[in-house]
Amino acid sequence: MRISSLLVLFLWLLFGTSVQANDTIRVGVLKYGTLNWEMDVLEKLKLAKQYNLNIERIPLGSPQALLVALQGGSLDVILNDWLWVARQKEAQRDFYFYPYSTAAGSLVTHPQANIKTLADLRGKTIGIAGGNTNKNWVLYRAFLKQQANLDLAQDVTVKFAAPPMLNALLAKGDLDAVVNFWHYAAQLNAQGMTSLVTMPEVLKALKVEGQVPVLGWVFKQQWADKNSETINRFLSMSAQARQLMKHDDEIWKQIPTFTQKYPEQVHPFLIEGYRQGIPDALAEAQKVQIDSLFQLIKANDSQQALTGNLGGLPDDIFWRHTRVR
User: Could you give the angle at the alpha carbon of 200 between the alpha carbons of 199 and 202, nearest 5°?
Assistant: 60
Q: What is the pLDDT of residues 197-226, one digit of tens each?
A: 999 999 999 998 888 888 999 999 999 999
Lowest mean pLDDT among 13-17, 35-39, 43-47, 264-268: 13-17
Question: Cβ atoms within 10 A of the Cβ of 98, count?
Answer: 24
The whole-angstrom separation of Cα 234 and Cα 324 is 9
Q: With b meaning 16 or more CB within 10 Å and e meaning fewer, what string describes 129-153?
A: bbeeebbbbbbbbbbbeebeebebe
Q: How many CB atoms lie within 10 A of CB 303?
A: 8
Name the residue with higher pLDDT: 175 or 23: 175
Task: Measure CA 269 to chain center.
Answer: 18
Judging by beta carbons within 10 Å of its beta carbon (0-12, 13-18, 19+), is residue 115 exposed, middle or buried?
Answer: buried
DSSP code per residue over 18-73: HHHHHHEEEEEEETT-THHHHHHHHHHHTHHHHTT-EEEEEEESSHHHHHHHHHHT
pLDDT at res. 201 = 93
The HSE-up count of residue 94 (CA atoms within 13 Å, CB side) is 9
For residue 309, how far is the Cα from the chain centroid?
Answer: 24
Helix 135-148 / helix 284-299 crossing angle, nearest 10 deg: 80
pLDDT tens sequence across 218-250: 999 999 999 999 999 999 999 999 999 999 999
CB-count burial class (<10 Å; 0-12, 13-18, 19+) for 101: buried
Q: Percent of the chain scored above 70 by pLDDT?
A: 90
The pTM assigned to this predicted structure is 0.88
Distances (CA, A) of 90 to 84, 219, 305, 308: 10, 16, 13, 8
CA distance 277 to 115: 26
Domains of the chain (ranges; CATH) run 2-102+211-317 (3.40.190.10), 106-205 (3.40.190.10)
Q: What is the pLDDT of residues 117-171, one digit of tens each?
A: 999 999 999 999 988 878 889 999 999 999 999 999 999 999 999 999 999 999 9
Cα dist. 32→60, 144, 194, 261 in Å?
Answer: 9, 32, 25, 9
Q: Write down the pLDDT at residue 315.
A: 80
Task: Report the alpha-carbon distance of residue 213 to residue 95 in Å, rounded.
Answer: 17
User: Which residue did the predictor score with more confidence, 6 or 289?
Assistant: 289
Gap between the terminal Cα atoms of the chain: 34
Question: Which tens digits make up the pLDDT trace of 262-294?
Answer: 999 999 999 999 999 998 766 556 778 888 899
Comparing 242 with 308, the larger pLDDT belongs to: 242
CA 158 to chain centre: 24
Q: What is the mean pLDDT of residues 96-123?
A: 95
User: How many whole angstroms separate alpha carbon 217 and alpha carbon 99?
Assistant: 6
pLDDT value for 17 = 39
Tell me what the pLDDT averaged over the chain comes to. Answer: 89
